[in-house]
Structure 1
Amino acid sequence: MTRPALTDVRPEILTRSPRGGRPPVTPSARGRRARGLVTVTLFLLPALVLFGLLVLAPIAVAMYTSVFKWNGLGGLPSDFIGLDNFTRAFGDEVFVGDLRRGLVLIVLSILIQLPLSLAIAMLLNQKMRGRAFYRLLFFAPYVLSEVITGVLFTMILSPDTGLANQILGAVGLDSLRSSWLAEPSTVMMSLFLVMTWKYFGFHMILYLAGRQGIPRELGEAAAIDGAGSWDQFRYVTLPLLGPTIRISVFLSVIGAIQLFDLVWVLTSGGPIHSSETMAVTMFQFGFKRTQIGYASAISVVMFGISLVFALAYQRFVLRRDTEGAITSMRGKR
């Protein structure tokens, strides 16, 4: 029997490892991997440096100063008090009220603001005259800064010359006239009204983009099967909008937890703390009363609440969406 020539052997047999695993890594392959790692590191380094300086470093400083009694002056903090700032925060009626008011804003946003945005998005997805103009009109409030929005509604809700009270008086509803931002009974609903006007356009655009990503053929197939408009929305559109709705809820909750600028311009947390949020309380103690240690403790609590919510939401709500995205990315490699 003649011995087969080396050229008759398939290349993959020559490169196969003795144990049937992956082919051995050659020195040239190791060099390419090393160069690729260096290239990736160099491209990521500026972003990592900025992230460390602007995100990680402030978090670390806030955690450090939160265990001291410190006014921000006279060098580094030295009066260590442990967890007393956190105990003080959760024993303070104002801060506990901040948590309660934040929860109220979250619930109202999920139950009123987001469904309103979804309804308007579905309406503006239909063919109608001036559709582009209406989309621009509804999205325009989100483009305005929070300061401009706050000043605008401060004038609209003014008790004496405000447009809201003038309209109520013109239509014969003088009994409903109120000092909207100056009464504890109406200030939170007034604040939520301004929030809705400011942010519903952003969520509307999210829903509109998600709706346009749904193939039209699915609705047509459902219509052929006898589904009406409501059934098409309930059984076709709404389930396919699930990922967009979940992202919208996440952004709405995080925004409500960190709400500051609108409240500060409109009411500064008043009257008698009835519209105050955690961020406003933190600002009051940190920059008005120079109690940096206590303000840092409040900021750590805000960060902890946001972090726990984000991790839990991603784990239990966004898990299916993120797994689908990762699977799709792996399939394209």
Structure 2
Amino acid sequence: MFTDAVVNNLTIVVLSVLIQLPLGLGIALLLNRQMWGQSLLRVIIFIPYVLAEVVAGVVWFLLLQPRGMVNDLLETVGLGEWTQLWLADTEIALWTVMGVLTWKYLGLAVILMLAGLQGVPPELYEAAQIDGASWWKVQFKITIPLLGPTIRTWAFLSMIGSLQLFDMVWILTGGGPANATVTMAVYLIDQGTNRSLYGYASAVAVLLFAISLTLAALYQVFVLRRDTTDAPKPRRKKR
């Protein structure tokens, strides 16, 4: 079970970056343009992030029941063959949890990307347009490189949050079915609280800390360090 928990945590870490990064960046680029209802759209996207995990988890737990609103809606629009046991099928339970996590935490990625876009000088876009650069080329050559520090910081926060994931999984599935969605934090709580194996749970907590510290240190050395080494060093005043 502990091995499954570690694998699930690492899977969530990877999927969170692969799914939320392009979605967050794309939505941020869309909302960064002048459009009607821009402020309202930003609020709507950020609302799930500020909701308490318990509230969001309970709402989605009810929606994803076999006779919940999601399956009823699919049947209503003629997609009854798409109805699933979203939280009880070992094949799709983890993907269902990932969908809820993406809905919950995508707002943070969007807000951080929007903040980073505010720091991109508009003169660069104007110069690129004069040179005849396409929209896609402008994004890949100007926007994304300048958003590098923001993207790397968000990825670090997403990684740490994925390793500590507990509330949403505990409410939605409790780690089931058949350990398909169990995480290290869920496994820790189950062993310590439900089974009263406090020593074993403490050992799991130490391993969780060691894994988190190792990944954070490696990320700092190989990814985040470039944001400090590439920064211009202050000049020393001559006496």
TM-score, length-normalised on structure 2? Answer: 0.95
Give, in whole Å, the separation in 1 of the partners of 2:192 and 2:141.
50
Instruction: Report the residue type matching 2:164 in the other structure.
Output: Q
Deviations 1:73-130 (A, max 9, x none): xxxxxxxxxxxxxxxxxxxxx1111111112212211111121011101100011000
Other-structure match for 2:17: 110
Other-structure match for 1:280: 186
Give, in whole Å, the separation in 1 of the partners of 2:52 and 2:105.
11
Task: Write out the 4+ residue segments of structure 1 that deviate beyond 4 Å after TM superposition.
Answer: none
Deviation at 1:322, TM superposition (A): 2.4
Q: Percent identity?
A: 50
Match of 1:125 among 32, 57, 61: 32
Give, in whole Å, the separation in 1 of the partners of 2:203 and 2:98.
27
Q: Indicate yes or no: 2:191 matched with 1:248.
A: no
Residues 35-54 of structure 1 correspond to what in structure 2 (within 5 A)?
none
Deviation at 1:217, TM superposition (A): 0.5
TM-score, length-normalised on structure 1? Answer: 0.69
Instruction: Report the residue type matching 2:107 in the other structure.
Output: G
Q: Tell me the matched-pair count.
A: 237
Deviation at 1:306, TM superposition (A): 0.9
Give, in whole Å, the separation in 1 of the partners of 2:36 and 2:175.
43
Q: Indicate yes or no: 2:101 matched with 1:195.
A: yes
Give, in whole Å, the separation in 2 of the partners of 1:97 and 1:314.
26
Q: Indicate yes or no: 2:55 matched with 1:148.
A: yes
Deviations 1:177-217 (A, max 9, x none): 11111111121011001000000001110000001111111
Residues 174-185 of structure 1 correspond to what in structure 2 (within 5 A)?
174-185=80-91
Say if 1:153 and 1:331 are closer, same or farther in 2 by CA, change over 3 A: farther
Deviation at 1:293, TM superposition (A): 1.1
Give, in whole Å, the separation in 2 of the partners of 1:331 and 1:305.
40
Other-structure match for 1:213: 119
Deviation at 1:326, TM superposition (A): 8.2
Instruction: Give the unaligned 5+ runs of structure 1.
Output: 1-93
Name which structure has the greater RCO, CA cutoff 8 Å, separation 6+.
2
Other-structure match for 1:168: 74
Instruction: Give the unaligned 5+ runs of structure 2.
Output: none
Other-structure match for 1:226: 132
Say if 1:227 and 1:101 are closer, same or farther in 2 by CA, change over 3 A: same
Say if 1:174 and 1:95 are closer, same or farther in 2 by CA, change over 3 A: same
Deviation at 1:252, TM superposition (A): 1.0
Residues 27-42 of structure 1 correspond to what in structure 2 (within 5 A)?
none
